[in-house]
Structure 1
Amino acid sequence: MARILIVEDNPINMKLATLLVHLAGHATLGAVDAESGLLLARVELPDLILMDVQLPGMDGFVATAELKNDPVTADIPVIALTAMALARDQARAQEAGCDAYITKPLRYQELQDAIDWLIAPGHR
């Protein structure tokens, strides 16, 4: 069982992501903005982070770049979650250091496959 940090400001999306992660057999931590997500990531060192892109204040791309530039959190895989499905958005996620990119609405099998792939032994 992995510990997965979900950074999501929308309560309905947070509830859905939490449910899907629990159905996949993993534990969750939650943060409603990038700043608290960064702090929680540095303190708890989760196995994986689901990062909403459109957050109040600091966006998910900036937060991911900060995580990837910090030696303490650089190896934690990050999945960008976004309603934006344009190629330039996916490229921006990759530039920020996201390890995967999933568009909303979340689909269980797609999320589970991405989580399983990123937390597999030897992936990091």
Structure 2
Amino acid sequence: MVEPKLRHRVLIVEDEDNIALALDYVLTREGYAHERIANGAEAVPKIRDSAPDLVLLDVMLPEVSGYEICQTVRMDPALKDVKILMMTARGSTMERRKGLALGADGFIAKPFELKELRDEVRRLLDTGAGGEAAGADGDA
């Protein structure tokens, strides 16, 4: 009998409960193992501890911003394979460029359609280890 493929692990870093519930819904339906934290200060230690495949990272968080978290993760060679999808209600081109410049693999504006989120998560997780996700969403 063939073993099912290992489930991807996702860490949700989101302080708004209603957004976190929507993320939980999508990830559960897709079969991803996931957990959530709501405080930016807890994010980097949790990422180092659990080494998730993907971090869904809100930009505006209590204590430490998503941008700072993204930059810290990208400066740590041990976390080079962790994918980061940033999320923000301020989805301007400038915000997007800043997130991608700091090393995010994707950027999604809130409110998002569940299908859009699902497709972006699949794109990042199905890239595979060492695959290049950057540019797939049309860099400007």
The normalised TM-score by structure 2 is 0.83
Structure 2: gaps spanning 5 or more residues:
1-6, 133-140
Letter in 2 for 1:69: M
Partner SS for 1:93: helix
CA deviations 1:42-96 (Å, max 9, x no partner) are: 0111110000000111100110000010112122010001111211101111111
Percent of counterpart pairs with the same letter?
Answer: 26
Report the counterpart of residue 90 of structure 1 in structure 2. Answer: 96
Task: State yes or no: 1:23 paired with 2:46.
Answer: no
| TM-score, normalisation: structure 1 | 0.93
Larger gyration radius, structure 1 or structure 2: 2
Q: Is the 8 A contact 1:64 1:98 kept in 2?
A: yes
Aligned length: 124
Which whole-Å CA distance do the structure 1 matches of 2:45 and 2:72 have between them?
11
Structure 1, unmatched stretches of 5+, are none
**TM superposition outliers: structure 1 runs of 4+ over 4 Å:** none
Structure 1 vs Structure 2 CA RMSD: 1.3
Residues 68 and 75 in structure 1, CA contact (< 8 A), matched pair in contact too? no
Whether 1:70 and 2:76 are equivalent positions in the alignment is yes
| Structure with bigger RCO (C-alpha 8 Å, 6+ apart) | 1
